[in-house]
Amino acid sequence: MLANNETGTIQPIAEIAAKTRAHGSLLFCDAVQAAGKMPIDIFALGVDALSLSGHKLGAPMGIGALVTRPAVVVPPQLLGGGQELGRRAGSENISGIAAFAAAAKAAMRDLNDFANLAELRDDMEAALLAVQPQTEIFGKHADRLANTSCFALGGLNSETLVMALDLAGVAVSAGSACSSGKVSRSHVLAAMGAETHVSKGVLRVSLGWQSNREDTEKLVDEWSKLAGRALAAE
């Protein structure tokens, strides 16, 4: 995974690829979360194949891409036709492909502007810490995508926070996957050593090209009120 989908941390893929290649193995990279948020070059990364998904760039759901080095042979899973260079039989999703291409071009054009979101994110995190110094910012000291923040405060509940913030007009998500309406503990945060009582209250904030300081200030304000009430009730 080039960039983690919960914390936004960027992994040392080129270093991993060099070690993989030294042992004569192939390396596949999930670049879905990173696409449109940082430069991606399959040759600079040194991987043999990487995957992309259009909906992360603003294209419709259901369109993606598998990018491979020229010498990499990928056996087809669907046989019967020569579409997609013989790798996937069946009529192509032409409208999805066109939308994906347009979104990718727009994302490439706006990469520098997207990088500026890091300042907005950092100021938001500083404000959260000013209100609740015990707040944990996951991946704070690592290389991260400019738009991603994952934070938590012990004693809070992610599911409750997400619903309450939604009612207040703030759209965020829990840092972990939601299954059957229940928010489970994040395996990513568990691997990072986060204590259970902290990871139960994790939120992930993803800033977009329309996000502004008014948005982050509203999040901090609403979260602060919710956190204050929850901790006072303990």
Could you give the CA distance from residue 176 to residue 183 in angstroms, rounded to a whole number?
Answer: 7
Smallest Cα–Cα separation from 131: which of 37, 23, 216?
A: 216
Which residues make Cβ contacts (< 8 Å) with residue 30, sequence separation at least 6? 1, 2, 50, 51
| Residue listed under structure tokens 């979360």 | 33
Catalytic residue among 78, 98, 126, 178: 178
Instruction: Quote the distance between the C-alpha of residue 228 and its chain's center.
Output: 28
| Cβ atoms of 87 and 74 closer than 8 Å | yes
| Residue listed under structure tokens 């194949």 | 49
Q: Is 87 left (phi over 0), alpha (psi -120 to 50) or beta?
A: alpha
| Cβ atoms of 171 and 144 closer than 8 Å | no
Asked about 29 being catalytic, the answer comes back as no
Sheet holding 49-53, edge to edge: 28-30, 49-53, 64-68
Which residues make Cβ contacts (< 8 Å) with residue 23, sequence separation at least 6? none
φ, ψ of residue 150 in degrees (nearest 5): -125, 120
Instruction: Tell me the catalytic residues.
Output: 178
